[in-house]
Amino acid sequence: MNELMLAPYASAEASSRGRHVPEPAPNARGEYQRDRDRIVHSTAFRRLEYKTQVFVNHEGDLFRTRLTHSIEVAQITRSIARALGLNEDLAESVALAHDLGHTPFGHAGQEALNACMQDHGGFEHNLQSLRIVDCLEESYAAFDGLNLMYETREGILKHCSPKNARLLGDVGERFLKGEQPSLEAQLANLADEIAYNNHDVDDGLRSGLITLDQLQEVPIFADNRRQVEADYPGLGGRRLIHETIRRMINLMAVDLIEQTRANIRGAGVETPAQVRQAPRLVGYSSGLLPELRVLKTFLRDKLYRHYQVLRTTGKARRIIEDLFGAFMQDPRLLPPQYQRMAEADKARAIADYIAGMTDRYAMKEHRRLFAVGDIS
């Protein structure tokens, strides 16, 4: 990216804290472009194709996976970053990497693995994403992980306890100092929210677990639907849904751009260093926030807690718990790579193995270990 086009408060490569392992400068691309490319070519990124958001992978080909979600987050992030004069390559890298550490089976899988790890340091997917790019990827001869730029690594870590922050060295410092991350990292965090709020509506409707009539309770959806129907009388089906959701995404993105500009002006921020000392600057207007809360409450109550979703997530938790228990009891059941890792920290090695599984691989591994008559 041409850094002459960046706003003064954007993250410039020239002022970056760099990489843990120094490398020659890349040819024909920037350092944050190199980060993005390494993330896209990583094993963990490919596995996101078979990890799902709300629906387990085998439930249908039309629902979003962690991979398609990450691509959608990256698109929203990059568009807003350009409007704000931020570093698009850094923002996109953070967006593409933000879900690398997610377990199979979405949030149910994370909750189950965290419960299993309570006596062993816990499990949190942001920390796992950082662990993947710092340690677990094995693609390069000169270093473990992806050796990403400091600002990319920092952006991946959205939240962190002081206890964990003290163990993370440079990337944990801001949590101990009470500082903010870059504007690019703040943006990727909220672009994630824009993407999943809207796309969970789409997948919920596609699955039949929520209905258009129910969504009339949600002002941001109902208002945009009325506008679509006024502009295109008689429009229905998937076109009506897509057009409504498209306008919701645009509404949120434009509000975020305008409010963030106002926040930056109000804080008098002119440099990346001042961004770190300021309050959170990337955010929505006070007028939109109540509508977003209604939308999130609706999705929680009507979709995420739908009995069919809860039945599936209940099974997912049992799969994670069973796998963890079996491997803790006998680490020899682990693949050789993880057996070696388990010699130093058995529980963490098991968590690394389970977190790296796709939905379908976790189900297959569970059948191998527990299905009566299955000795494959």
Residue 302 lies in a domain: yes
Bigger pLDDT: 107 or 352? 352
Residue 302 and residue 210 in contact, taking contact as beta carbons nearer than 8 Å? yes
Say yes or no to pLDDT of 349 above 60: yes
pLDDT at 54: 66
Taking 80 as the threshold, does the pLDDT of residue 2 lie above it?
no
Sequence-separated (6 or more) residues with CB below 8 Å from residue 341: 348, 349, 352
Q: What is the model's pLDDT at position 57?
A: 45
pLDDT of residue 132 exceeding 80: yes
Residue keyed to tokens 């009995």: 307
Give the model's pLDDT for residue 171. Answer: 93
Q: What is the band of 373 on the pLDDT scale with cuts at 50, 70, 90? A: low
Query: What CATH number did the domain enclosing 123 receive?
Result: 1.10.3210.10
Judge whether 172 lies within some domain.
Answer: yes
Mean pLDDT of all residues belonging to the chain: 93
Q: What does pTM read for this prediction?
A: 0.93
Q: Considering the domain boundaries, does residue 105 fall inside one?
A: yes
Environment class of 15 (CB within 10 Å of its CB; exposed 0-12, middle 13-18, buried 19+): exposed
Average pLDDT over residues 93-105: 95
User: Average pLDDT of 237-260?
Assistant: 97
36 located within any domain = yes
Domain that holds residue 104: 3-309
- Are the beta carbons of 31 and 84 closer than 8 angstroms? no
- Cα 191 off chain centre by: 10
Question: In this structure, is residue 72 part of a structural domain?
Answer: yes
pLDDT digits over 199-211, tens only?
999 999 998 999 9
What confidence score (pLDDT) does residue 137 get? Answer: 97
Residue matched to tokens 């796998």: 323
Q: Letter for the amino acid at 217?
A: E
**Angle, nearest 10°, between helix axes 88-97 and 183-207?**
50
By percentage, how much of the chain surpasses pLDDT 90? Answer: 84
What pLDDT is attached to residue 52? 79
Number of domains into which the chain is organized = 1
pLDDT confidence of residue 107: 84
For residue 58, the model assigns a pLDDT of 44
Position 361 in a domain? no
Task: Judge whether 349 lies within some domain.
Answer: no
Residues of the chain above pLDDT 70, percent: 95
23-74 pLDDT tens trace: 999 999 999 999 999 999 999 999 999 887 665 544 444 468 899 999 999 9
Evaluate whether residue 366 is within a structural domain. Answer: no
**Three-class secondary structure assignment of the chain:** CCHHHCCCCCCCHHHCCCCCCCCCCCCCCCHHHHHHHHHHCCHHHHHHHHCECCCCHHHCCCCCEHHHHHHHHHHHHHHHHHHHCCCHHHHHHHHHHCCCCCCCCHHHHHHHHHHHCHHHCCCCHHHHHHHHHHHHCCCCCCCCCCCCCHHHHHHHCCCCCHHHHCCCHHHHHHHHHCCCCCHHHHHHHHHHHHHHHHHHHHHHHHHCCCCHHHHCCCHHHHHHHHHHHHHCCCCCHHHHHHHHHHHHHHHHHHHHHHHHHHHHHHHCCCCHHHHHHCCCCCCCCCCCHHHHHHHHHHHHHHHHCCHHHHHHHHHHHHHHHHHHHHHHHCHHHCCHHHHHHHCCCHHHHHHHHHHCCCHHHHHHHHHHHHCCCCCC
